[in-house]
Amino acid sequence: MNIKNFLDSTYLKTASQANLSEKENTEIVVNCIQEAIENDFKLIMIRPDKVALAKKMIQEANSKVTIGTVIDFPFGTATIDEKLAEAKKAIEDGADDLDFVVDYEAFKRGELDFVKQQVIQGTKLGLTHSKIVKWIIEVAALNNHQIVQLSALIKNVVIASFSEKEYDKVFVKSSTGFYKTPEGMPNGVTVQTIKLMLENSFPLPVKAAGGVRTYEEAVEMIQLGVKRIGTSSAKAIANGEVSNSDY
């Protein structure tokens, strides 16, 4: 198993979140993109405003690294039109994967038709442009029953609206890595949440994101059945080293 084929090397902090200047933060993004190129990771996952930069660097390096970005991140509360506009711009800039944050708070309020519509329309936009689409459900904001329900909702919408040959292009993804949990509780993926997602998302693939920081943890997730891992510790994982990253 080449673990690099599963790794979405991730840097999603804004300059203010990183307590850096825009120039300093962009330098970190450039270094992450270069690291992904040099290590042949599956994908580099960055903010939408950095997609064009990544596209230019990857093309100049003649690399096969793909580009992912996040849509309506990290809260998922934008309108459907706003989600689609952001995704369209990312596609124009060269993104290969679109990781939408589903409006999980609307889901918790019982606004199921609205949630279904954003899944349908976001997925349709991505697939129409031959992109991979992922729906972030934010497991730390949900109880186990809600994880089951939201994973199943996304699965059922995709099965009802798209062809079987497209199922492997639509993921259910665990976390943003930015959700604020009380009392230091995990804000990313756990073995329990991944099992619930895998059981209720099938036949859609699952991406584990947030909290995977070691080679052993990554292997465990892959053995459970995940197809992609989002992590800011991609190089450490690939090298079997210990990471102190917070995502």
pLDDT digits over 16-73, tens only? 999 999 999 999 999 999 999 999 999 999 999 999 999 999 999 999 999 999 999 9
Q: Locate the domains of the chain by residue range.
A: 3-239
How distant, in Å, are the alpha carbons of 212, 237, 239 from that of 218? Answer: 6, 7, 12
How far is residue 52's CA from residue 30's CA, in Å, rounded to a whole number?
Answer: 12
Residue the block writes with tokens 């991406």: 207
Active site residues: 99, 173, 207
Q: Could you tell me the two tokens for 62? A: 């003649």
Q: Residue 202: which of 137, 243, 138, 148 has the closest Cα?
A: 148
Question: Per mean pLDDT, which range of 4-8, 136-140, 183-187, 217-221 is the poorest?
Answer: 183-187
CA–CA separation, 155 vs 140, rounded Å? 20
Task: Kindly give the pairing relationship between strand 132-136 and strand 228-231.
Answer: unpaired
pLDDT confidence of 247, banded at 50, 70, 90? low
156 band by pLDDT with thresholds 50, 70 and 90: very high
What sign has the CA pseudo-torsion 113, 116, 122, 126?
negative
Q: Mapping DSSP to helix (H, G, I), strand (E, B) and coil, where does residue 247 land?
A: coil
| Architecture of domain 3-239 in this structure | Alpha-Beta Barrel (3.20)
pTM beyond cutoff 0.85 = yes
Furthest CA-CA distance within the chain: 47
User: How many CB atoms lie under 10 A from the CB of residue 48?
Assistant: 17
